[in-house]
Chains A and B, each alone.
Chain A
């Protein structure tokens, strides 16, 4: 668990002095990073690895999971039960929080109304609970409100840790862009008043390329690659943002070149035992998959105009902190 407001020992970086408006800083010099991608591509793992990289570089970093998800927290704390909205310390300078809409709403109301009793009046009212559950997009809106709050140098919450970097494990692709757009949508509908005002402030952080970055995570397969290109188009169209980096997850080792593959195929013909044939077949299969994956990476790279950062497939039963640590080293070298 985190304690106290603690800004000690944090090396002061250039991040308090934003670069000139025309210059887009390196991804890790931003304040807020959205890690996006479709379901099952390893977004949470990349968010966790990125958090480790940032923390190693001396930044106080928080990884925010949304919609009550807590995979990163469970993997990195080795706990089964995670309290929502608590800021857990995961490693030196690395923190994590699972933002659930209920707590986010409560905090949002308190910050807006500034009087605890008024906020309590609302949240304890059945009619209000009803209203909150029924209002479309409200959950996403207050979640984004919390993300924004985490990214403030002067946190609104009392005694809160000050973070240099907030990493958001965003919802799966299609939903991800809608999620990032919610504050703008609310601001447009509300026109005037506190929500409109707040929505605009949050939106201005999200679309500011000097402060906010987007990382897309993909698998080296045909459809995830297509979807990453679609994502690139969508964030440009709806948010005016560009992808700062693309991470390709789960690359098989390229153990056998074409010449070796030839000798594997010949050996398969002469292999005398079922075990030897199985091993050679496994090696050949891996070769085929590894080749196909590299073709997809090349296609992605060309389509996006960025060199993707490649993360290896890990032959492990489960990803725990050690494995995430290994991935973070590869990620750091690639960013």
Chain B
């Protein structure tokens, strides 16, 4: 797999995977690498924990992309032929912006923005974080200011939430049941029949009057924007499914994230989303060259003290266990990606070794960059 080729002509790169696998760092490195090759790239992250900001030396990322000082890369020996921009998504602000745009009247807008449910809990609306990410991505893409947008997906434990999000958000705003709910009055009782009236009275016993009232206002005011939400979700889905987009998966070589990556990949396939490949971070490679780790005992220089030699052997054995585990898990992933049809999966996978140093700055991104953007020949060397 070659990233430059994989992303050739693409306008959007969505980076998915479970939490803790280095997804944000990988997204930033891809964006940096493509920018170095002459593109104007923006990387959008949703991680509430400001990791990308740390990586890029930005004090504060707001809801608009900011240009990352090219000098930072020059200092580390990377020539930026293009531009790297970075932004951290503020879901609440993005949601406010959407409401602003979609509200049919200023009154409707104010009704939503001042609603207590909206103010306190809109972050908890099923799929809202993912929806806002998609909406922002759509806006940035429409603006046409960037050659490539790299999206770091939300750190949900379930990577799938991301793909379903637009649908989930619009589904809850549609449908007859909600229409009924929007009129929880005596009249509604007559219109919708006795059954619903009873449900309401029971519901009120649980929620209390105030909460039900606030919820009702919340749903009613948002429902005026359903068409807007729906058409956006449709456009976003269309954009993600077509050839301007590329999905990449990031994982670490442990069993759980690998399984999650496979799950996500199946989902992508079922939804006919364009899949570019999987990046496996922090892989322990086998350095025994086929020998048993214990064989090294005979070969260590005699000058090492007995205790140090014993510790070397112990550590070599330990890492060999990890290397075997990683190899098995990576092979499992490769088999799945090949679809069991004997096609080689190598072209759809890229391994980044477990580096000695932790990645948290531009220097770290550059170390990852060496692997992600290596030529085939260079990769052989690794």
A316 B155 Cβ-Cβ under 8 A: no
Distance in angstroms between the alpha carbons of A140 and B131 in the assembled complex: 19
Contact with A along B224-262 (1 / 0, CB 8 A): 000000000000000000000000000010011100000
In the complex, the 10 A-B pairs of residues with the closest C-beta atoms, listed nearest first:
A40-B20, A193-B208, A39-B19, A174-B48, A278-B287, A136-B121, A190-B211, A137-B124, A315-B318, A134-B172
* Any B CB within 8 A of the CB of A317: yes
A156 CB within 8 Å of chain B = no
- In the complex, the chain B residue whose C-beta lies closest to that of A295 is B358
Q: How far is the CA of A130 from the CA of B360 in the complex (A)?
A: 44
* Distance in angstroms between the alpha carbons of A113 and B303 in the assembled complex: 78
Q: Are B214 and A189 in contact (CB under 8 A)?
A: yes
Looking at chain A's contact residues, is the secondary structure mostly helix, strand, loop, or mixed?
A: helix
Q: How far is the CB of B382 from chain A (nearest CB, A)?
A: 14
B357 close to A288 (CB less than 8 A): yes
Q: Do B208 and A195 have beta carbons less than 8 Å apart? A: yes
* Residue pair B304, A263 in contact (C-beta under 8 Å): yes
Contact A174 B49, CB 8 Å, known A131-B181, A282-B315: yes
Is A135 on the interface with B (CB-CB < 8 A)?
yes
How many angstroms between the C-alpha atoms of A211 and B259 in the bound complex?
38
Number of interface residues of B (CB under 8 A): 79
Beta-carbon contacts under 8 Å, B172-189 to A: 172-173, 175, 177-178, 180-181
A40-B18, A113-B206 known; A276+B300 contact, CB < 8 A: yes
65-89 of chain A: CB within 8 A of chain B? 67, 69, 71
Chain B residues lying within 8 Å of A253, measured Cβ to Cβ, are 315
Q: Are A134 and B289 in contact (CB under 8 A)?
A: no
Is B198 located at the chain interface by the 8 A CB criterion? Answer: yes
Q: Is there a chain A Cβ closer than 8 Å to B78's Cβ?
A: no
29 contacts between A and B (CB under 8 A): A39-B19, A39-B157, A112-B206, A113-B202, A121-B198, A122-B202, A122-B206, A125-B195, A128-B199, A130-B178, A134-B125, A136-B117, A178-B124, A191-B208, A193-B208, A193-B211, A194-B206, A196-B208, A196-B210, A253-B315, A263-B304, A267-B301, A267-B304, A270-B303, A276-B299, A279-B312, A282-B287, A286-B319, A317-B328
Nearest-neighbour CB distance to chain B for A65, whole angstroms, equals 11
Q: Are A67 and B124 in contact (CB under 8 A)?
A: no
Within 8 A of A (CB), among B78-113: none
Q: Does A230 contact B (CB under 8 A)?
A: yes
State the CA gap A190–B299 with chains docked (Å).
Answer: 73
Of A122, A196, A222, A256, most B-chain CB atoms within 10 Å: A222
**B19 x A256 contact (CB < 8 A):** no
Given the contacts A39-B20, A196-B208, A278-B289, A315 and B214 also touching, CB distance less than 8 Å = no
Contacts of A126 in B (CB 8 A): 177
Interface size range of chain A in the complex: 35 or more
A278 contact set on B, CB distance < 8 A:
287-289, 296, 316
Interface: A21 (CB within 8 A): no
Contact status B211-A195, CB under 8 Å: yes
Q: Does B271 contact A (CB under 8 A)?
A: no
**Beta-carbon contact of B121 and A280 below 8 Å:** no
B295 at interface by CB-CB < 8 Å: yes
Chain A residues in 8 Å Cβ range of B205: 112-113, 118, 194
> What is the bound-complex CA distance between A67 and B358, given in angstroms?
31
Q: How far is the CA of A223 from the CA of B51 in the complex (A)?
A: 7
Confirm or deny: B5 has a beta carbon within 8 angstroms of a beta carbon on chain A.
Answer: no
Selected from A121, A130, A266, A275, the residue in CB contact (under 8 A) with B288 is A275
Using A122-B199, A172-B19, A275-B296 as known contacts, say yes or no to A189 and B49 having CB atoms under 8 A apart: no
The B interface, classified by DSSP as helix, strand, loop or mixed, is helix
Q: Is A190's CB under 8 angstroms from B210's CB?
A: yes
User: Does B377 reach chain A (CB closer than 8 Å)?
Assistant: no
- Kindly list chain A residues whose C-beta atoms are within 8 Å of the C-beta of B358: 221-222, 292, 296
Question: When the two chains form their complex, are residues B312 and A289 in contact, meaning their CB atoms are under 8 A apart?
Answer: no
Q: Does B215 contact A (CB under 8 A)?
A: yes
* 20 further interface pairs, Cβ-Cβ under 8 Å (given A278-B296, A315-B321): A38-B19, A109-B206, A121-B202, A185-B121, A190-B207, A193-B207, A194-B205, A221-B358, A226-B50, A227-B49, A253-B315, A267-B303, A275-B289, A278-B289, A278-B316, A282-B319, A283-B311, A283-B316, A286-B315, A318-B255
CB of B2 within 8 A of chain A? no
Chain A residues with CB below 8 A from B114, complex form = none
Interface presence of A301 (CB below 8 A): no
Are A127 and B208 CB-contacts (below 8 A) given A40-B21, A276-B300, A283-B315?
Answer: no
Q: Is the CB of B322 within 8 A of A315?
A: yes
Please measure, in the bound complex, the distance between the C-alpha atom of A231 and the C-alpha atom of B293, giving whole angstroms: 42
In the complex, B67 has a CB within 8 A of chain A: no
A193 and B209 contact, CB distance less than 8 A: yes
Q: Which of chain A's residues 261-315 have a Cβ closer than 8 Å to chain B?
A: 263-264, 266-267, 270-276, 278-283, 285-286, 288-289, 292, 296, 315
Per-residue contact bits, chain A 208-232, to B (CB 8 Å; 1 contact, 0 not):
0000000000000111001100100
* Residues of the B chain whose Cβ atoms lie less than 8 Å from the Cβ of A289: 356-357
- Chain A residues within an 8 Å CB radius of B209: 192-193
Are B116 and A189 in contact (CB-based, < 8 A)? yes
Minimum CB–CB distance for A328 against chain B, Å: 20
A172 contacts B157, C-beta separation under 8 Å: yes
Task: Check A189/B117 contact, CB under 8 A, given A40-B21, A140-B124.
Answer: yes
On chain A, the residues within 8 Å of B287 by CB distance are 278-279, 281-282
Q: Report how far A112 CA is from B214 CA in the complex, Å.
A: 20
- The yes or no answer to B270 lying at the interface (CB within 8 A) is no
Interface residues as binary, A32-54 with B (CB distance below 8 Å gives 1, 0 otherwise)? 00000011110000000000000
Q: Tell me which residues across on chain A come within 8 A of B198, comparing CB atoms.
A: 121
Name the A residues within 8 Å of B336 (CB-CB).
Answer: none
- A276 contact from B20, B49, B125, B296, Cβ within 8 A: B296
Residues from 282 to 319 in B contacting A, C-beta threshold 8 Å? 287-289, 291, 293, 295-296, 299-301, 303-305, 308, 311-316, 318-319
* Centre residue among A118, A122, A272, A315 by max chain B CB count within 10 A: A315
Taking CB atoms, residues of chain B closer than 8 Å to A134 are 125-126, 172-173, 178, 219
Given A122-B199, A193-B211, A278-B287, A266 and B121 contact (CB-CB distance below 8 Å): no
- Chain B 317-336 interface residues, beta-carbon cutoff 8 Å to A: 318-319, 321-322, 324-325, 328
**Interface status of B54 (Cβ within 8 A of chain A):** yes
